[in-house]
Amino acid sequence: MALATAAKTTSTDFGPAVALSCRECGTRFDLGPNFACSECFGPLEIAYEFAPVTRESIAAGPANIWRYRSLLPVPANVLDKPNMAPGWTKLVKADRLARELGLRSLHVKDDSGNPTHSFKDRVVAIAVEAARNFGFHTLSCSSTGNLAGAVTAAAARAGLDACVFIPANLEEAKIVMASVFGGQVVGIDGNYDDVSRFCSELIGDEMGEKWGFVNVNLRPYYAEGSKTLAYEIAEQLGWRLPDQIVIPIASGSQLTKIDKGFGELIKLGLVEDKPYKVFGAQAAGCSPVSAAYRAGHDVIQPVKPDTIAKSLAIGNPADGPYVLDIARRTGGAVEDVTDAQVVDAMRLLARTEGIFAETAGGVVVGVLRKLVENGVLDPEAETVVLNTGDGLKTLDAVSDGARPTAVIRPTLDDFRAAVAG
């Protein structure tokens, strides 16, 4: 196909990645800074030719995502370059939360432990390598908050310029976090979908030349970073897939890539081939995917988001149709919870496990609880849930009920009176 012959650059090194392939129509393209199929607009994905890999060769790698570099679109010498080296976050055995919810076995994959306190460091690390490969000088993105900070931090570490775009009404902590690393942080008067649209237009303009938009023209590379969540969960469980997993849905890319990662581990013989169920979690105030799931649709009707879970507030989720496919194929489901349930779940996770999740984590735990209560999730099966960000970035959500229980003078009498009261 003539359209598939974009100029090939011979100096690039993407390790095991060999091509871009359209997820919709299968047309293949040379590896380049492209994200949509010129035949059908479908999303482009990385196609690989993996060399043999063993559990031992992975375990010999560093305690970060680069232990899986032979399964990612990055050069073998990625370890030698300055980058955030994210990943290998804790898989917390959540017995107290499990008991509270009536589950036999539950783990929380706590990705708030990444360098900028969200899972976004994983995807950005891959995008930085792509930006280097393509000779871009500026790293950019549209962000619901966490990504902006991950991009400006990674750009600072790598010595790239940064210019990120966010909805102007984001949580204060996320704006501060994005700004402190330098670079330009541009607030856009609108919601995330407006920001995303703006970036898609900017990329076609000469102002955006030589810019790597991690989640636009570098999206096929960037998105692969979420596979490392699947790899780590399996390895940390002792090279085993969980029976059930609950994943938050914003654009839906993370969920689809975790499913892809599990599939690759099976194909490579690194884990036993067994069924697993994938559950998606949304906030009721931005639930286009769970609405489509409930209605039995395979397309998404976009919505205007209105929820405290701002990191998930994408009203027109690009990978929504694939989330529906995966939930149905694996026997999972997509569910949503109200903002009040999100806050309750944040407090539940905090008081049972000592994990202060951001609102997205509250969405996941809230949906977990709802799925158990509705009998959709099997309480006897091994379950993993994701916390993708840090509660310190969404303090407003819980600050009403999180105050000193007493303020007293430093006397024993005052304290006695306070605890008695």
Amino acid letter, residue 136: F
Could you tell me the smallest distance in angstroms from the CB atom of residue 124 to other proteins? Answer: 9
Characterise 87 by phi-psi region: left (phi > 0), alpha (psi -120 to 50), beta (else).
left
Pick the closer one to other proteins by CB: 12 or 200: 200
C-beta separation of 108 from 385 below 8 A: yes
Q: Which is nearer to other proteins, 64 or 311 (CB)?
A: 311
User: What span, in angstroms and rounded, lies between the C-alpha atoms of 289 and 278?
Assistant: 14
* Nearest to other proteins of 144, 236 (CB atom): 144
Nearer to other proteins, 105 or 140 (CB): 140
Q: Nearest distance from residue 311's CB to other proteins, in Å?
A: 10
In angstroms, the CA 290 to CA 147 distance is 24
Which residues would be at the binding site for other proteins (CB under 8 A)? Answer: 3, 24, 34-44, 119-120, 123, 142, 144, 147, 192-197, 199-201, 203-205, 215-216, 219, 222-223, 225-226, 250-254, 299, 301-302, 304, 314, 316-319, 321
Q: What angle is formed at CA 311 by the lines to CA 309 and CA 313, rounded to 5 degrees?
A: 70
Distance CA 400, CA 419 (A): 21
- Least distance in Å: CB of 78 to other proteins? 20
- The least CB distance from residue 200 to other proteins, in Å, is 5
In angstroms, rounded to a whole number, what is the distance separating the alpha carbons of residues 113 and 411? 38
**Which residue is it, tokens 């819980």?**
398
Closer Cβ to other proteins, 25 or 392, answer by number: 25
Q: How far is CA 106 from CA 79, 164, 309, 351, in A?
A: 33, 36, 23, 16
Q: Which of 261, 260, 277, 254 is nearest to 334 (CA)?
A: 277
Minimum Å gap between C-beta 386 and other proteins is 12
In this structure, are residues 364 and 246 in contact, taking their beta carbons and an 8 Å threshold? yes
Give how far Cα 320 sits from Cα of 17, 210, 217, 292, Å: 25, 29, 19, 9
Q: How far is the CB of 216 from other proteins (least distance, A)?
A: 5
Give the whole-angstrom CA distance, residue 294 versus residue 341: 19
- CB closer to other proteins, 56 vs 206: 206
**Cβ distance to other proteins smaller for residue 56 or 201:** 201
What are the tokens at 376?
């959709």
Min separation Cβ 222 and other proteins, Å: 7
Q: Cβ closer to other proteins: 101 or 286? A: 286
Which CB sits closer to other proteins, 41 or 415? Answer: 41
> CB of residue 135 vs other proteins: minimum separation in angstroms?
18
Rounded to whole angstroms, how far apart are CA atoms 78 and 80?
5
Least CB distance to other proteins at residue 368 (A)? 21
Lookup: tokens for 384: 């993993």
Contact in structure between 265 and 276 (CB atoms under 8 Å)? no
